[in-house]
């Protein structure tokens, strides 16, 4: 995970700021505060694979109001704002605002405008017709893209603010704020790694994340692979044990893990 970005976002949230999504027409080179002073604007520099020369082309030639202005701008040097950069912008979410109603979704836009990069307006029109069935990216794809390209897990896509508030009201903290006196916390599994003990018994190491964008690992003992199921990118709460040597652990996942939504 991108620790610097995580730290910025977590500090901003503690001070009551909202975080605006990346936007090719608004995001700059540094973190900025909106005119009303309530929102932090994430910079284009937070997108992996988007270099300084590409960002310079964007800032010097925006706004880009549609696909045509993005792809066929006489002032843009496309050897700098190349296909790789456009791909990172699109999958990172910075082009969402210019996906107009000609497109059935963001995946349709991505395929028609970037993957099969059109060389002229006629080819763009053909691509729009050809790739129309593709629709939008799946939720899993969006989560993967945003995590991969910005280094920050898009928590808002997995658990809404109302659910987090209900957990707070019940004094159930995220796992990164675990309180051993309470024992109960919430988290979102990102990866399940099957393992075996020296005696050949199954157990899992579950990598989880929470609203503080911090990764933790839970050792889940006494696993029954044919029965136990953990859904990735879904919010759970559970009663866990914590040991300085072992970290977090629990037994009988089917009984201790409770799916929240």
Report the C-alpha gap between 29 and 86 in whole angstroms: 17
- Is the same domain home to 29 and 133? yes
> Is the alpha carbon torsion for 255, 258, 259, 261 positive or negative?
positive
- Is the same domain home to 128 and 180? no
Tokens of 95: 């082009």
Q: What is the CATH number of the domain that holds 255?
A: 2.40.50.140
- Is the same domain home to 124 and 190? no
Taking CA atoms, 13 is separated from 18, 81, 113, in Å, by 7, 32, 35
Q: What is the dihedral of CA 18, 12, 149, 27, to 10 degrees?
A: 60
- Is the same domain home to 45 and 140? yes
Do 146 and 92 touch, CB atoms closer than 8 A? yes
Domain final residue, candidates 152, 175, 193: 152
* pLDDT tens, per residue, the chain with 261 residues: 445 566 667 677 767 777 788 999 999 998 888 888 788 888 999 999 899 999 999 999 999 999 999 999 999 999 999 999 999 999 999 999 999 999 999 999 999 999 999 999 999 999 999 999 999 999 999 999 998 998 888 888 899 888 988 999 999 999 999 999 999 999 999 999 999 999 999 999 999 999 888 889 999 999 988 899 999 999 999 999 999 888 999 988 888 999 997
- Is the same domain home to 213 and 232? yes
- Is the same domain home to 172 and 84? no
End-to-end CA distance of the chain: 25
Domain final residue, candidates 152, 177, 208: 152
Domain final residue, candidates 135, 152, 169: 152
Pairing of β 247-251 and β 216-221: parallel
- How would you list the strands of the sheet with 236-239, edge to edge? 241-243, 247-251, 216-221, 202-209, 184-196, 236-239, 257-259
Report the C-alpha gap between 137 and 105 in whole angstroms: 7
- Backbone phi and psi for residue 153, each to the nearest 5 degrees, phi listed first: -70, 130
3-state class of 112 per DSSP? Answer: helix
- Is the same domain home to 170 and 254? yes
Helix (H) or strand (E) holding 195: strand 184-196
Number of domains in the chain: 2
- Is the same domain home to 34 and 121? yes
- Is the same domain home to 16 and 75? yes
Range of the domain at 234: 161-259
- Is the same domain home to 7 and 133? yes
- Is the same domain home to 95 and 18? yes
- Is the same domain home to 197 and 120? no
Tokens of 152: 């920050």
Report the C-alpha gap between 238 and 258 in whole angstroms: 6
Q: What is the CATH number of the domain that holds 145?
A: 1.10.150
Helix (H) or strand (E) holding 169: helix 161-169
């Amino acid at each position: 995970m991108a620790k610097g970005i995580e730290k910025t976002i977590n500090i901003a949230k503690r001070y009551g700021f909202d975080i605006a999504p990346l936007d090719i027409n608004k995001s700059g080179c540094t973190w900025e505060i909106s005119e009303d002073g309530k929102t932090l604007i994430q910079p284009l520099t937070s997108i992996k694979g988007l270099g300084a020369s590409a960002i310079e082309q964007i800032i010097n030639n925006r706004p880009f109001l549609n696909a045509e202005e993005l792809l066929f701008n006489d002032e843009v040097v496309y050897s700098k704002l190349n296909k790789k950069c456009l791909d990172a912008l699109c999958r990172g979410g910075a082009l969402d605002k210019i996906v107009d109603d000609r497109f059935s979704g963001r995946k349709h836009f991505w395929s028609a405008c970037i993957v099969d990069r059109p060389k002229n307006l006629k080819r763009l029109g053909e691509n729009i017709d050809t790739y129309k069935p593709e629709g939008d990216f799946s939720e899993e794809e969006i989560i993967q893209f945003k995590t991969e390209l910005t280094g920050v897990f898009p928590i808002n896509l997995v658990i809404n603010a109302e659910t987090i508030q209900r957990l707070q009201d019940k004094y159930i903290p995220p796992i990164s704020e675990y309180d051993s006196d309470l024992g109960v916390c919430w988290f979102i599994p990102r990866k399940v790694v099957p393992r075996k003990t020296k005696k050949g018994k199954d157990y899992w190491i579950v990598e989880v994340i929470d609203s503080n964008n911090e990764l933790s690992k839970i050792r889940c003992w006494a696993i029954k692979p044919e029965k136990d199921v953990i859904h990735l990118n879904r919010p759970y709460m559970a009663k866990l044990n914590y040991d300085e040597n072992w970290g977090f652990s629990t037994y009988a996942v089917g009984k201790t893990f409770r799916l929240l939504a």
